[in-house]
């Protein structure tokens, strides 16, 4: 059935409780490929509890990626469901172990047409229970099979513009063949990332990587090039997903530095596709 518009815009939940320990922090870090060099001591703060428990902020880029608060149930064609873009603003360091609450709401809904799908934009604000914000997560979902519900296509946020000059830095990051199976253990168990038959029904030759894995990989690229592996340096990180990534590929991240603003895009050169566009990190 079509999206119930405009009622969907009123969906929200408040004070949903979440908690985590260093185990979830390390699993999420492994899920985005950190720890591939187990002798890199700068990475150990993310994947080894002896380091993580002493590095407040080592969880920022990991747990910030996937807190599962949702504003409510929207009737969508789940087979045709993809991550669209995501932006995380860090208001304070995320502790390695914490109990928090999250408020979620539908922030925007855009109808691209019956053949082009719909964009659903959600906002999640995570707080520490004492009135202080920890992170704000704004994410969009591309519902490829749910356009034509009668909404407007106007008002979508403008993307960040990438500099026209040659990149200042370039990073190649290989993706493990089993990376999607690891990442899904942090909460997103969409069969599109693990079930070959489901992936074929969705129009893909095999399971694809999570969009939020690509998000985490671009975090890694900025972290190791311009932040000296210090996650507390991140104020905001945003990116638009533009093509799928398959496990086993090599992702090349191009980066441009302008003051405290790092622009980036990610490519799979073997297939000559850009998988992440209009990326920007603001360093504090």
| Residue 62, CA distances (Å) to 80, 148, 150 in order | 26, 36, 37
pLDDT averaged over 10-residue windows placed end to end, the chain, 284 residues: 84 89 85 90 85 44 54 83 88 83 92 92 88 90 90 87 98 96 89 96 95 91 94 92 96 98 98 98 94
Distance of CA 211 to the CA centre of its chain: 6
| 175: helix, strand or coil | coil
Q: What are the CA-CA distances from residue 172 to residues 166, 224, 272, 282 (Å)?
A: 16, 12, 14, 21
Residue whose C-alpha is closest to residue 92's, from 128, 66, 51: 128
**Residues 202 and 79: beta-carbon distance below 8 Å:** yes
239 within some domain: yes
Q: For 23-116, where are the E strands, in sequence order?
A: 81-90, 98-111
Catalytic option among 103, 111, 193, 237 = 193
Q: What is the CATH number of the domain that holds 81?
A: 3.10.129.10
The single residue listed with the structure tokens 């899920």 is: 31
Q: Catalytic pick from 22, 60, 83, 188?
A: 188
Helix (H, G, I), strand (E, B) or coil at 199: helix
Q: Are 279 and 263 in contact (CB under 8 A)?
A: yes
Q: How far is CA 75 from CA 7, 143, 187, 212, 217, in A?
A: 12, 10, 20, 22, 30
- Per the domain annotation, does 1 fall within a domain? no
Cis status, amide bond into 113, omega within 30 of 0: no
Structure tokens at 165: 């000059």
Does some domain include residue 279? yes
Residue corresponding to tokens 């969906």: 11
Residue whose C-alpha is closest to residue 126's, from 154, 97, 89, 151: 89
Contact 93, 56 (CB under 8 A): yes
Note whether residue 92 is domain-resident: yes
pLDDT tens digit string along 209-242? 998 899 999 999 999 999 999 888 999 999 999 9
For residue 160, indicate whether it is catalytic: no
Identify the pLDDT of residue 58.
Answer: 37
Residue 271's φ and ψ, nearest 5 degrees, are: -100, -5
Quote the number of domains for the chain.
Answer: 1
Query: How does strand 234-241 pair with strand 81-90?
Result: antiparallel
Distances (CA, A) of 8 to 27, 85, 90, 120, 198: 33, 19, 27, 10, 27
Kindly state whether residue 16 falls inside one of the protein's structural domains.
yes
Compute the 3-state secondary structure of the chain and give helix, strand, coil in percent, each to the nearest 5. Answer: 25, 35, 45
The C-alpha angle 266, 271, 274, rounded to 5 degrees, equals 25
Q: Which residues form the domain of 82?
A: 7-283
Global pTM value: 0.90
Q: Is residue 2 part of a domain?
A: no
d(C-alpha 67, C-alpha 25), whole Å: 12
């Amino acid at each position: 059935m079509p999206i119930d518009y405009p009622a969907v815009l009123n969906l929200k939940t408040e004070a949903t409780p979440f908690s985590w320990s260093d185990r979830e922090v390390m699993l999420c870090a492994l899920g985005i490929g950190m720890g591939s060099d187990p002798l890199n001591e700068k990475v150990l703060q993310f994947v080894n509890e002896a380091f993580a428990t002493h590095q407040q902020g080592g969880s920022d880029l990991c747990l910030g990626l996937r807190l599962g608060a949702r504003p409510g149930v929207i009737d969508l064609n789940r087979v045709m469901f993809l991550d669209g873009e995501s932006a995380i603003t860090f208001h304070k360091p995320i502790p390695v172990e914490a109990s928090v609450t999250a408020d979620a709401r539908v922030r925007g809904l855009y109808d691209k047409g019956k053949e082009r799908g719909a964009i659903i934009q959600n906002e999640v604000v995570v707080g520490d229970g004492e009135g202080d914000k920890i992170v704000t997560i704004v994410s969009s979902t591309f519902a490829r099979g749910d356009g034509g519900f009668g909404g407007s296509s106007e008002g979508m946020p403008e993307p960040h513009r990438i500099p026209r000059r040659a990149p200042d830095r370039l990073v190649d990051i290989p993706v493990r063949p089993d990376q999607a199976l690891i990442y899904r253990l942090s909460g997103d168990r969409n069969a599109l990332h693990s079930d070959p038959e489901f992936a074929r029904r969705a129009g893909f030759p095999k399971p694809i990587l999570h969009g939020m894995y690509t998000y985490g990989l671009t975090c890694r690229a900025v972290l190791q090039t311009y932040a000296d592996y210090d996650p507390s340096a991140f104020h905001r990180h945003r990116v638009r997903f533009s093509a799928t990534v398959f496990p086993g590929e090599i992702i090349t991240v191009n980066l441009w530095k302008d003051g405290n603003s790092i622009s980036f895009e990610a490519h799979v050169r073997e297939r000559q596709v850009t998988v992440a566009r209009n990326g920007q990190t603001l360093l504090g």
